[in-house]
Structures are given as structure tokens and as C-alpha cells.
């Protein structure tokens, strides 16, 4: 019988779940404008997660989960261009990361956010 060790394989399991969620979301979302908007916002959020976790935890599990969602979404986007979907994700990621590095957007628990 197949035995799964969740404490060791949580990344792989969550990546597969996010791949399926991305695929289902892309199939259900038929409007190309909403598809591109969702990918832009997903890239924006992915850069925020990457920025928050980059120095505190191992980053590879988060990159794997983001890539799993992105791959599932790209595989399921039948009603829009996969190229433009990927471009909107990269642009959203780039803008968000730049705004976080420059300090324009901050994390809630960071020192610049907490003002006394």
C-alpha cells in the first residue's frame, strides 16, 4: 500500500492541487480580459509572496507552487492566448517586486508599516 508522508511531501501535494485549481479556473473563465486581469493579479501576488519569504524560509517550495498554478492555468486557457497570459503574469510579477523592493508597498508586519 502506498504510504504518504505529509510532513515531507506537502510541497508536491500542494503543487498538484494548485495545478488542478489553475486548470479549472482557466477553463471556467472564458472572457479573455478577465483571464489577463486574473493573471496580472496572480503575478502581483506571487511576487509579494516571493518577497516576503525570500530571506526567511527556503524559497524553492513557494516557487514550485507558483509554477504549478501557472502551468495549470496555462494548460487550461483555451479561450485566450497563452503567450499573452504569460506576459501579463510576468508584468504583474515585475511591477509588484519592484514596488516591494523600493518600499512603495510594504508588508504589514514590517517596521515601516508599524508607526508609533
Domain boundaries, the chain: 11-101
Residues 75, 84 contacting (CB under 8 angstroms): no
Residue 36 has pLDDT above 70, yes or no: yes
Of 107, 97, 87, nearest to 32 by C-alpha is 87
- Mean pLDDT in residue range 72-91: 94
Residue 72 has pLDDT above 60, yes or no: yes
Q: How far is CA 72 from CA 3, 13, 110, in A?
A: 26, 14, 33
Residues 85, 38 contacting (CB under 8 angstroms): no
Question: Full-prediction pTM beyond 0.75?
Answer: yes
Beta strand spans in 1-116 (E)? none
Of 47, 50, 72, nearest to 61 by C-alpha is 50
Predicted pLDDT of residue 112: 55
Amino acid at each position: 500500500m502506498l504510504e504518504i508522508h505529509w510532513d515531507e511531501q506537502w510541497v508536491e501535494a500542494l503543487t498538484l492541487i494548485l495545478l488542478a485549481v489553475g486548470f479549472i479556473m482557466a477553463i471556467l473563465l472564458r472572457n479573455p480580459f478577465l483571464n489577463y486581469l486574473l493573471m496580472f493579479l496572480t503575478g502581483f501576488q506571487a511576487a509579494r509572496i516571493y518577497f516576503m519569504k525570500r530571506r526567511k524560509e527556503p524559497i524553492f517550495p513557494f516557487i514550485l507552487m507558483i509554477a504549478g498554478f501557472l502551468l495549470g492555468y496555462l494548460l487550461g486557457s483555451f479561450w485566450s492566448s497563452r503567450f499573452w497570459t504569460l506576459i501579463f503574469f510576468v508584468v504583474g510579477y515585475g511591477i509588484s517586486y519592484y514596488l516591494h523592493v523600493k518600499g512603495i508597498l510594504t508588508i504589514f508586519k514590517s517596521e515601516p508599516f508599524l508607526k508609533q
